[in-house]
Amino acid sequence: MPSTAKSLLEVQFDAPRRPDLDSGLREKPEGAALRELHALLVRLDPDRRWGAVRRVPTPTGGYLWLCLEHYPLYDPGRPKLD
């Protein structure tokens, strides 16, 4: 998975950026493109471990996929009662 991600980052895209997408994406993934991405991820990770990342909902209704190191920053867990 790391080598695949690295190779994707090395690809040069020449599509113009859309100003309505503030995340740096060139287009909003949806429909067939999103299904194709999901199929690629399942092929690369058939056990569906997703690199041990966890999905965390955001206040705006989206999701963040966080590694185990950064997950506690968004979900500190249950409070400890003494």
In this structure, the dihedral spanned by the alpha carbons of residues 57, 58, 59 and 60, taken in order and rounded to 10 degrees, is -110
The pLDDT of residue 47:
92
Q: How confident is the model at residue 51 (pLDDT cuts 50, 70, 90)?
A: confident
pLDDT at 27 over 80: no
More confident call, 61 vs 15: 61
**Stretch 17-27: mean pLDDT:** 55
**Stretch 34-60: mean pLDDT:** 88
The pLDDT of residue 43:
92
Measured CA to CA, the distance from residue 71 to residue 69 in angstroms comes to 6
